[in-house]
Amino acid sequence: MANKAKVAIFISGRGSNMAALLYASFLPGAAYEVVLVAANDPEAEGLALASGEGISTFALSHKGMPREQHDEAMEQAARDAGADYIVLAGYMRILTDGFATRWEGRMLNIHPSLLPKYPGLDTHQRAIDAGDSHGGVSVHLVTPELDAGQVLGQMKVSIRESETADTLAERVRFAEHQLYPRVVSEYVGRENDPDFLLGKVRELALALPQTHERESHGSPGWRAGSEKSGKYFAYFNDQHHGTEHVAVLVKTGSMDELLDLVEAQPQAYFKPAYYGASGWIGVILNRPGLDWDHVADWLERSWRSVAPKSAAKLHDAADQF
């Protein structure tokens, strides 16, 4: 598969979830590859398993180190490995807000309860004590607040007669090993899913004032101005004319600018067939680590070049608040 997302996995101990994620990444058609396994304990068992499979590892004990400094070193290791995502798998550290914020939307965690129930520790005992019929596991996005980010997937595990926290934990782990690779694959795979990408572009384009959507030669496009006299400022382009790109076409200022951008950043831009001749550039969307703020900036700039002056003025005024 083109464009595999690069994933760094952080562990603290046994690393059975890491192993499940790693072996799933070896399956044909996997959406991600593991570029690093990092631990805050140099003795973490999972490190040996990873390096035995030829995966780079990094270990740095947190003992005696300020939290910021340890987080920074771990983050740097992930960046050096080229990671697009950090996947926490039994990483027993509370992250600094800055670290969590910098990776927002690109950091996942697995938690052994059916969130929002039982964030924190002792999840299995708490579920048993509460008389719940099920425990389970959740995969969620990491935000500065502990175990509180958007839940991406869950699996229930039934609680039986005379269950103990240990017996329940053992079965929950089986569920974890099924759920985590699946959710990670789906989440990172959205980057290649044209429907997901179209939805994002549509949302950004229609958030600009006086815009509407109109199909052009079979592709969605967005116009600024009235239904009658509006002008196109963006077209969605899904693997047109033999390219493997899913892209949004927006207007550049000049042919020189277009050619310079394509030459300097061929992973991010291309000159589209037909449209390229009139200064439209393709901004490639199906690539890991795409910055959506950057796409939004392009859309706004392109919109500005065709929007009625009154709409642009109003938009500027609104920006000041």
What residues are designated binding site? 15-17, 67, 92-95, 109
Our finding on whether 112 is near ligand GRF (CB under 6 A) is yes
Facing residues of 236 across strands? 248
Q: Which residues of 172-208 are buried (b: 16+ CB within 10 A; e: fewer)?
A: bbebbbebbbbbbbebbbebbeeeebbebbbebbeeb
151-163 burial code (b ≥16 CB/10 A, e <16): bbbbbebebeeeb
> What is the torsional sign of CA 286, 291, 293, 297?
negative
Catalytic entry in 62, 70, 111, 124: 111
Q: List, as one string, the DSSP characters of 164-204.
A: -HHHHHHHHHHHHHHHHHHHHHHHHHGGG-HHHHHHHHHHH
Site for ligand GRF in 192-251 (CB under 6 A): none
CB of 178 to ligand GRF, least distance (A): 13
111 labelled catalytic: yes
Residue nearest to ligand GRF (CB): 90
* 185 contacts ligand GRF (rule: CB under 6 A): no
49, 55, 81, 110: which one binds ligand GRF (CB under 6 A): 110
Q: Which residue of 7, 17, 230, 251 would you call a contact of ligand GRF, by CB under 6 A? A: 17
The answer to the question of residue 38 lying near ligand GRF (CB under 6 A) is no
Cα(91)–Cα(190) distance, rounded to whole angstroms? Answer: 25
Q: Are 206 and 222 within 8 A, CB to CB?
A: yes
**40 binding ligand GRF? (CB under 6 A):** no
> Among residues 109 and 286, whose Cβ is nearest to ligand GRF?
109
Among 75, 176, 191, 300, binds ligand GRF (CB under 6 A): 176
* Residue 90 near ligand GRF by CB under 6 A: yes
Residues serving a catalytic function are: 111
Which residues sit at the interface with ligand GRF, rule CB under 6 A?
11, 13-18, 89-90, 110-112, 173, 176
